[in-house]
Amino acid sequence: MTPSYDVIIVGLGAMGSAAAYQLAGRGARVLGLDRFAPPHTLGSTHGRTRVIREAYFEHPLYVPLVQRAYELWDELTRESGRTLLVQTGGLMMGPADGALVAGARESAERHHLPHAMLDAGDVARRFPPIRVPEGEVALLEPRAGLLFPEACVEEALDGARRRGAELRTGEEVTGWRADGGADGDGVEVTTDAGTYRASRLVLAAGPWNPELLARERTAAPLALPLEVERQLFHWFEPVRDAELLDAEVCPVVLWEFEHERIVAFLPDTGDGVKVGIHHGGEITTPDTVRREPTADDEAAVRALLARVLPSANGRLLDAHVCLYTNTPDHHFLLDAHPAHPQVLLVSPCSGHGFKFASAIGEVVADLATGGATRFDLRLFGVGRLRS
């Protein structure tokens, strides 16, 4: 007999784990499927630490969503008893009229967020290891900090199981189809282990989402302009001022080092100072990506580290490849499938989505159970990707 569920979720990383947790908490019969065993290092949801920030330079519309994410991360922390978020403060550095500083300032002012504008001298006095390049400024936001992604996913999945969700890992989706007409009345998902039916389907597989869309069993599966991008994380041992680079005293730093090119420096939580260039990697797929970091990868981040955080530019401690799944405008994809209203397309988050996962899980639960949410999702519609 084919099992029957209210919602099947494909992909149990950041967004899928949060959606399973939220839906199961509402009493939904949830089946979660993943070809691997999250958290793992093959996709987007890893890296030990991730930035969370409130003065969102990408667009002010994200601010209410990230504010709700803070609340839900706190709730999951209380339920699990595990530290999932630490507040460090954050410095957004670059030209005053650049995308990063100007965008963060617009969000802060529009949403009345606490913040301060600092010059190079201000930063040097407050955070001695950090150097603001000549002619540039910094915006300090006190609520920024770090999330621990592996712990977040583990606790969301454990919470989903406690709430009754059935989670099956090591099981690959080989095809799916949606039944019914415009209103939709169910889905069928086939894996390498069986076939399952549900009222709703959530596709939240990150870099595997393009492949999943192509596995729809219709004459013309939906094709969207999504690209998977190779990214790097590096961790470095400080050569001095180690105590000033610790997450207890050092903020997260984002720096617009070229026009609309950003690098992130994350303070030391025990593994060294983490550095990652945001975008600019080669286009790839999760099955063909070059997973070994190279000397050129290291040289690129060292050159930036030397300019603004030279005391952290010591021995390389570790490096890993990560994957971004990008839309052309780098805004999220969070909408119903245009041909199948019972199928939700969740993410791709273009490399800046993890911090929102707790709130996106709630939004997915809203859409899957009631068809509406209180958040403004106009930036995230599928229609813009088909014009």
**Active-site annotation, residues:** 46, 49-50, 274, 278, 322, 355
DSSP letters for 150-168 = HHHHHHHHHHHHHTT-EEE
**Helix/strand/coil for 11:** coil
- Beta-strand (E) ranges in the chain? 4-10, 30-34, 50-52, 85-87, 90-94, 116-118, 137-141, 145-147, 166-169, 173-178, 187-191, 195-203, 227-236, 252-258, 261-266, 273-278, 283-284, 316-326, 334-336, 343-346
Q: How far is CA 216 from CA 56, 171, 337, in A?
A: 35, 17, 11
CA distances from 328 to 228, 283, 350 (A): 11, 13, 9
Q: Estimate to the nearest angstrom the gap between the alpha carbon of 56 and the chain centroid.
A: 14
**Segment (H or E) for 181:** none
**Contact between residue 12 and residue 33 where contact means Cβ atoms under 8 Å apart:** yes
**Which tokens is 246 given?**
């610790």
Q: Report residue 225 as tokens.
A: 């302009």
- What's the rounded Cα separation, in Å, for the pair 170 and 151? 20
Own/partner pairs for 289-293, CB < 8 Å, 24+ apart? 289/228, 289/230, 289/321, 289/323, 290/230, 290/321, 291/321, 292/321, 293/232, 293/234, 293/319, 293/320, 293/321
Q: How far apart are CA 380 and CA 97, in angstroms?
A: 26
Q: What is the DSSP letter of 48?
A: S
Cis peptide before 348 (omega within 30 of 0): yes
